[in-house]
Homo-oligomer: A and B are copies of this chain.
Amino acid sequence: MAKQFEGPILPFLRLDAAAALPKFRQVQDQLRMAILRGHLRAGTRLPASRILAEELGLSRQTLVRVLENLKAEGYLEARQGAGTFVSAALPRQLPKPRFTPAEGDIPPRLSRIGALSRALSANIGRMEQKPFLPNQPALDCFPFAVWRKCWNAATRGGRAAMGYGDVAGELMLRQRIAEYLALHRRDPCDPEQIVITPGGHAAFTLAALALADPGDGIWFEDPGPVTTSNLFRTLGLTLCPVDVDAEGMNVAGAMARHPDARLAFVMPSRHHPLGVTLSLPRRLALLEWARANDTWIIEDDYDSEFRYDGAPLPSMRSIDSNGRVIYAGSFSKALYPGIRIGYLVLPPPLVGTFRNLSGLIHRSVPVETQLALAEFIGGGHFASHLRRMRGLYAERRAAFQEAGRVALAGLARIDCSESGLNALAWLEKSGDRTAHRVVLDAGLQCYPLSDYTIATPRPSALILGYAGVPAERMKPYLGRFAEALSRS
């Protein structure tokens, strides 16, 4: 015989007349909770709905609706002629109330990748948009009206942009990118060799997952971008730091010290943050190493568009005779970081694998944005935007150099390379971590070079982005920067 619930019904129900949630939902949620918490045990018979409704001050119709819903969810069951019961199929022992340990109390059970990610939290916080934030293009001069026009033109069709789209990215965008690379990077490729990704980091992730197993070595320039090295570490790769001099990555040194690496990650057009270019003999040596050892080169060509003393340098991919280079491009610097579109140009034998892997782990990239971008490139807006930005950044760079030489005399030596969006300030007195904190306190942005260091310490320097700062603001901002430095 099932026991009936006795006494004043449901002392654990507290209806709140002032709450936004309608009363029937309150009753329903609280009844469910009472069952889950074991106040109402499996097999218990509920009082007749007429009595329950009265006691709760609900209409009988409303109460019946509540009971029906809880039956549909499996909490209650009706027995022919006998009334409504807490479902007998429920286990006697129900889970205890929700338990939320403070983060870090008991480490949760994670995979190796999960445990690595937990530990590598340091450097991917919010990047506050303050003057001199590195890697920032001139968002104030982005042709937003034209971009929106392209957006509207591309999405006019509506339905076309709303499906999943091609796993390798929309053909139309791949064609525009191939044309751009042929014309402006002198590096023709077939649009079928391109895979579009949700940003540059996703492109590196694809390459690392497809080409290297956990434990495999990857050559990585030291210093180098910490979010990228953390990505490879997190995926379980063994980071092989390679020192960088005026000719770029020390390829001979890497061959001697890390001969078994499976991958090389390199920024040949412009090293970040040192600003140097990989020399031609080293490019050829790197390509030869990859050919001879059946290894792969990830070429990160993140901002080669901005070169102030001539045309952009040809990519490594363009002189790769053996199909060893995975070329990674992105629109974060050329347009704006929030666009989250990157791409890879692949040697033909890798295309199928990368299409599948990208389709599985991302499925596809926002189709609207892809079509808007194809329209933006196809309409000539991309080329003319780059041309304008090159002029603008050259101007900002000159203003930065001139104002910096005066303001920072005796404090730091300014070092603008011939390309890119950033400069280095080599500090003459203070350590860069201390200087970094003082500069942040002064309402400006910069990154300390030490954050990029992997194995080889370097003299102190701060990385500053000048491209996002109007020329006429350089003097006052650098004045404030100098004042902060002199305090550190």
* Residues in A lying within 8 Å of B, measured CB to CB: 25, 29, 32, 36, 68-69, 72-75, 87, 89-91, 94-114, 117-118, 120-121, 124, 126-127, 129, 136, 139-140, 142, 144, 148, 152, 155, 158-159, 161-167, 186, 198-202, 205, 209-214, 216, 227, 230-231, 234, 279-281, 283-285, 287-288, 291, 294-296, 309-311, 313-314, 319-323, 332, 336-340, 347-357, 359-369
Contacts and interface: CB of A to CB of B under 8 A. Distances in A.
A360 B120 contact: yes
Contacts of A148: 152, 155
Contacts of A367: 338, 340
Contacts of A281: 74, 87, 89-91
Contact of A353 (B117, B199, B202, B210): B117
B90 A280 contact: yes
Nearest to A234: B360
Nearest to A337: B164
A69 B310 contact: yes
A361 B116 CA distance: 13
B95 A322 contact: yes
A355 B212 CA distance: 24
A263 to B, nearest CB: 10
Nearest to A319: B36
Contact of A114 (B73, B94, B107, B357): B357
Contacts of A231: 360-361
A209 B114 CA distance: 7
Given A340-B198, A365-B198, A111 B213 contact: yes
A189 B155 CA distance: 34
12 contacts: A25-B186, A32-B319, A72-B313, A87-B281, A89-B281, A91-B284, A106-B349, A108-B350, A113-B213, A121-B352, A129-B163, A199-B362
Contact of A164 (B110, B118, B127, B210): B127
Contacts of A284: 90-91, 94-95
